[in-house]
Structure formats: C-alpha cells, structure tokens
C-alpha cells in the first residue's frame, strides 16, 4: 500500500489550472528523468548539463521571466510549485542545482541588469545554454553579507577584482557568476558593495577546488579565486554601491523557495516512511500498527501541512506585491528545522536500514541537514523575525 501526496496543492485558493499543469509536468520530469538516473549523478558529484538543457527546453528555467525573453511570465506561486516538486524528487542535490540557477543567481541579472544585459543573458539562462551561480559567501562571511572582503578597484574602463568566495553552488560548472564585491571601502557597509557579472573564462578567475560535501552530492559546490580579474565596467549589475540592496531584494524569494523545497523533501520522507512501515513486519504485525509510531508521524504530517500552507499563502501574497521579510524569515526558520525533525524520525523508524547508504532515507537525511544553515541560518532568520515583533 502506498501513501498519497497531500491533495492540499490542488486547492483553488492558491493555485489555478496553469499551476496544476506545471506541477504535473515537473512531477513527470522528476519521475522519468531524475529518479532513474540521479544515483549516478550523486557519485559523479554534479547534475549533467544535458539534463539541465532538458529542463530549459521544457520551460522550467523561465517560469518567472517575461515571454519576450523566452519565459512563461508566471508568478511566485509557480516558483513554489517548481521548488516543492523538485524537493519531492528525493535528490536534493539536483533540486538545488536547478533552483540556484532559476531563483538565486540568474534573477540578479534580471532584477539588477540593464536592458542590454537582460537581452544578452536571460534567453540563454532560460534555455539552459548558460548556467549561473551567485558568489556572495566567503570563508569569513556567510549570513553576515556585510562582512565580505572580496574587493574591486576601478582602473580606466575596467574593474579589477581580488578575493575568494566559498561554498558556491554551481561553482564548478556555471558559465557566468553574479559576484558581490566591495567597491566603496570608505562608505557605510550597506553602501560599500557592488554586483558584477564574471564569465568563467575571464583571466585570473579560477575554480580553486570542488568541495566535498556531507549532502547534496549531485550538486557541484566550489571555492572560487579572483586574482586581478579584469571585467569591463559594462559588467556591473545595477548601480555602484547598491549590491547589498540587490542581494537583500532577492532574499524574500530565495527563502520562500528553500521553504517550499524543504516541505517537498519532508513530504517525500513521510510518504516513504509510511509505506515502509506498512510493509515492515515486527513482533508479528506491521510497524504501522504501533500507535506511538503512527501518532508521531501524524503529528509531523500535521506540522508539515501547516508549514506548507504558510508557504503557499506567502507566495500568493508576494505575487500580490506585498513586502514580507518577516514571513519569509519565519518560513526559512520553520521549514529548515522541521524538515530535519522529519528526517530524524523517518531514519529512526526505518531502523538499521535507515542508517545504510543504500537507502533513500539516509541520503535524504544528509541532504536536509543544510536546510537550517544555507540561505540564512535559523538563528539569523529568528533575529529577522524578532526585529519585526
């Protein structure tokens, strides 16, 4: 007997037929292209480019971009559908590879870029021809964005960048990087930063090393080095000294996306575990017959449903133009912690099999651990909420 995914996503309160069609299409891609093949990608350490091109060809990389640039011109609710279904795949390394490209990196080109930059890059991002990464985090600056030290100086019509970036998703295989650097050393911290586009083949730019991670094994992550990297002034994204605000602008979307992904992960883990417990015999009966186990999973399902509904409602409000920094910070904190609670109990209820690398739930538990760290650690998110109480 199998466990069915919650039907909450079919609610007309949040989603219309376009969203439901998108969900069906993404789910079909997950079942036919990701699940049968991603064990190999886990071993190889990245998601193949031909798979990303297929995602682009199906329109997944252009969900929010204008039709004139090759996109579908949908809203935040569609982004949630996309992220949640990728989270349901059980291969979160593949999911984050795609989501960083669509909702954390290429968005900087669209949001901060001028008309020429958008016209040059967005159609290529939408098609999957060009894959993007965003380079903000450094060895000494993670959630504290203002602490970055990578810098750039103006030299004629070029900027010269020096520094190091760390934990950059898509860092090994991206074609173009949206890089945050300090350009105004004497300005207030919030006005000291500028974003630049840096192409992979630029002289002085190197992928220092591919990083070996606890989870997200099918996602490439890198340390990047900038040694006298000269980029033309035309590669600046947005206004000089406004990079911090550009980064902050996308945090609402990024944290909502991670929350949706986490709830997809949590739901998939619960489905998998309930199915396992219905079949697993112990003490003469299926483990599902044990009241304590059933009730623990029922409580987790209830909490996942509540968090999912908050993600849906927040996406709908964002689509309506509201500013919701408090709400997305709540989502990121709640979803990041909850998905790890779910994984802990799901591993526990799988018993010894849950500890084996051959089991799906073991991989999922490793992948989920970063959800309370990446994209804004839980503690930082709670401070954002507390400021607004």
Domains and CATH numbers, the chain: 7-131 (1.10.540.10), 133-240 (2.40.110.10), 245-387 (1.20.140.10)
Q: Is the pLDDT of residue 368 over 90?
A: yes
Angle (nearest 5°) at CA 45 between 70 and 226 = 75
Give the residue, 5 or 42, on which the prediction is more confident: 42
Per-residue pLDDT of 258-295, as tens digits, reads 999 999 999 999 999 999 999 999 899 999 999 999 99
CA 67 remoteness from chain centre: 23
Query: Residues with Cβ < 8 Å from 56, sequence gap 6 or more?
Result: 62, 126, 127, 128, 129
So what's the pLDDT on residue 163? 97
CA 204 remoteness from chain centre: 28
Q: Is the pLDDT of residue 6 over 60?
A: no
Q: How far is CA 124 from each of CA 64, 319, 388, rounded to the nearest angstrom?
A: 14, 25, 39
So what's the pLDDT on residue 9? 61
Number of Cβ within a 10 Å radius of residue 71: 19
Q: Is the pLDDT of residue 8 over 80?
A: no
Mean of pLDDT values over 80-92:
98
CB-CB contact of 233 with 117 (8 Å) = no
So what's the pLDDT on residue 1? 38
Q: Is the pLDDT of residue 168 over 80?
A: yes
- Active-site pick, 246, 254, 265, 384: 254
Token pair of 83 as six digits:
């992220």
Per-residue pLDDT of 112-152, as tens digits, reads 999 999 999 999 999 999 999 999 999 987 777 778 899 99
Half-sphere exposure of 220 (CA within 13 A, CB side): 22
What whole-number distance in Å separates Cα of residue 24 and Cα of residue 175? 30
What whole-number distance in Å separates Cα of residue 44 and Cα of residue 222? 15
Q: What are phi and psi of 89, to 5 degrees?
A: -65, -20
So what's the pLDDT on residue 10? 65
- % of residues, the chain, pLDDT over 70: 97
Specify whether the backbone of 152 is left (phi greater than 0), alpha (psi in -120 to 50) or beta.
Answer: beta
Give the residue, 2 or 269, on which the prediction is more confident: 269
So what's the pLDDT on residue 255? 96
What whole-number distance in Å separates Cα of residue 179 and Cα of residue 116? 18
Mean of pLDDT values over 141-166:
91
Q: What are phi and psi of 143, to 5 degrees?
A: -65, -25
So what's the pLDDT on residue 334? 98
What DSSP character marks residue 3? P
31 is a catalytic site residue: no
Q: What is the mean pLDDT of the chain?
A: 95
What whole-number distance in Å separates Cα of residue 389 and Cα of residue 385? 7
Q: What are phi and psi of 187, to 5 degrees?
A: -85, 160
Mean of pLDDT values over 297-305:
98
So what's the pLDDT on residue 4? 47
């Amino acid at each position: 007997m199998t466990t069915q995914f919650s039907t909450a996503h079919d609610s007309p309160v949040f989603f219309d037929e376009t969203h439901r069609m998108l969900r069906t299409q993404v789910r079909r891609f997950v079942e036919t292209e990701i699940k049968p093949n991603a064990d190999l990608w886990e071993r190889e350490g990245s998601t193949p480019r031909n798979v990303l091109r297929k995602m682009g060809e199906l329109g997944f990389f252009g969900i929010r971009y204008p039709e004139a640039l090759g996109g579908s011109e949908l809203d935040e609710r569609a982004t949630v559908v996309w992220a949640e279904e990728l989270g349901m795949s059980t291969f979160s390394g593949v999911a984050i590879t795609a989501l960083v490209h669509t909702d954390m990196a290429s968005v900087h080109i669209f949001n901060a870029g001028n008309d020429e930059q958008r016209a040059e890059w967005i159609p290529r991002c939408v098609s999957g021809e060009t894959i993007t990464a965003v380079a903000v985090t450094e060895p000494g600056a993670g959630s504290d964005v203002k602490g970055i030290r990578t810098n750039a100086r103006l030299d004629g019509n070029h900027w010269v960048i020096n520094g190091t970036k760390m934990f950059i998703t898509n860092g090994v295989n991206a074609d173009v990087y949206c890089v945050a650097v300090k350009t105004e050393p004497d300005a207030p911290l919030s006005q000291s930063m500028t974003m630049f586009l840096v192409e992979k083949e630029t002289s002085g730019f190197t992928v220092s090393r591919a990083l070996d991670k606890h989870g997200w094994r099918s996602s490439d992550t890198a340390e990047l080095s900038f040694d006298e990297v000269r980029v033309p002034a035309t590669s600046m994204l947005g206004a000089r000294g406004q990079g911090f605000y550009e980064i902050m602008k996308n945090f609402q979307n990024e944290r909502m996306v991670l929350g949706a992904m986490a709830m997809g992960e949590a739901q998939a883990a619960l489905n998998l575990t309930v199915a396992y417990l219905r079949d697993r015999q112990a003490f003469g009966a299926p483990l599902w017959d044990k009241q304590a186990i059933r009730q623990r999973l029922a409580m987790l399902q209830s909490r996942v449903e509540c968090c999912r509904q908050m993600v849906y409602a927040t996406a709908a409000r964002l689509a309506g133009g509201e500013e919701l920094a408090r709400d997305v910070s709540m989502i990121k904190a709640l979803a990041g912690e909850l998905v790890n609670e779910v994984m802990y109990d799901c591993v526990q209820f799988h018993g010894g099999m849950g500890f084996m690398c051959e089991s799906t739930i073991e991989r999922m538990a490793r992948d989920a651990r970063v959800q309370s760290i990446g994209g804004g650690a839980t503690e930082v998110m709670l401070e954002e909420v507390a400021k607004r109480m």
